[in-house]
Amino acid sequence: MILVTGATGTVGRHVVAVLKAEGREARALVRDPAAAPGIESPRMSALVGDLGRAVDRAAALVGVTEIICCHSALFNHDQQTVAAIDGTATEELFREAAAAGVRHVTFLSHVGCNRPGHAGLLKAKRRAEETLMAQAVMDYTILRLSPLMSSLRRLPGLTDDATMLQFGDGEALLSPVSPRDVARLACRCGRIESLRGEVLEVGGPETYTWRELPALIERATQTRLTCWRLPLFVLSIARILVGLFRPAAATVLEHLEQLYREDYTADPGRVGTIFGTGLEDLVTWLRERDAAPVVTAGDLDHPPARSVEPTAPEPAAVEVEAPARATEWLREPAEEQPDDSPARVIEPPAAEPEPEPTVIDADAEAAPVVAPPEPVADSEPEPVPEPEPEEGEEPAPEEPEPAEEPEPDEPEPDAPAEPWGRHTTVEPVPEPAPEDTSRRPPVERPAESTSRVIDLDP
pLDDT value for 356? 56
Mean pLDDT of 178-183: 93
Residue 51 lies in a domain: yes
Statement: residue 456 has pLDDT above 50: yes
Residue 175 lies in a domain: yes
The average confidence (pLDDT) of the chain is 75
Span 61-69, average pLDDT? 94
Residue 366 lies in a domain: no
Name the domain count of the chain.
1
DSSP state of 302: S
What pLDDT does residue 292 have?
Answer: 42
Whether 307 shows a pLDDT value over 60: the answer reads: no
Terminus-to-terminus CA distance in the chain, angstroms?
A: 57
CA–CA gap between residue 10 and residue 111 (Å, rounded): 17
pLDDT at 391 over 60: no
Identify whether the C-beta of residue 106 lies closer than 8 Å to the C-beta of residue 190: yes
Q: Which residues contact 312 (CB under 8 A, 6 or more apart)?
A: none
Q: Is residue 121 part of a domain?
A: yes
DSSP string, 326-371: -----SSPPPPPPTTS---PPPPPPPPPPPPPPP--SSSPPPPPPP
| Share in percent of the chain as helix, strand, coil (round to 5) | 30, 15, 55
- Specify the CATH number for the domain of residue 222: 3.40.50.720
Phi, psi of 158 (to 5 degrees): -125, 10
Give CA torsion, residues 218, 223, 224, 225, to 10 deg.
-70
* Residue 271 domain boundaries: 2-299+444-455
**16 band by pLDDT with thresholds 50, 70 and 90:** very high
The predicted pLDDT at position 349 comes to 56
Structural domain contains residue 14: yes
Q: DSSP per residue over 153-205, as a string?
A: TTSTTSS-SSEEEEETT---EE--B-HHHHHHHHHHGGG-GGGTTEEEEE--S
Rg of the Cα trace of the chain? 45
Mean local confidence (pLDDT), 229-248: 87
Determine the pLDDT at residue 326.
41
Residues 6+ apart with CB under 8 A from 165: 156, 157, 158, 227, 228, 230
pLDDT band at 301 (very low <50, low <70, confident <90, very high): very low
Residue 374's pLDDT is what? 59
Give yes or no for residue 238 having a pLDDT over 50: yes
Q: Is the dihedral of CA 296, 298, 300, 305 positive or negative?
A: negative
Percent share of the chain, pLDDT over 90: 28
pLDDT at 146 over 50: yes
pLDDT of residue 310: 39
Is 373 within the bounds of a domain?
A: no
Whether residue 190 has pLDDT greater than 80: yes
Give the DSSP per-residue string, 107-122.
EEEETTTTSTT--THH
Residue 422 lies in a domain: no
Q: Domain for residue 330, yes or no?
A: no
Dist. CA 247–CA 254, nearest whole Å: 11
Q: How confident is the model at residue 406 (pLDDT cuts 50, 70, 90)?
A: low
Q: What is the pLDDT of residue 138?
A: 93
Q: pLDDT tens digits for 267-290?
A: 888 888 888 888 888 888 888 764
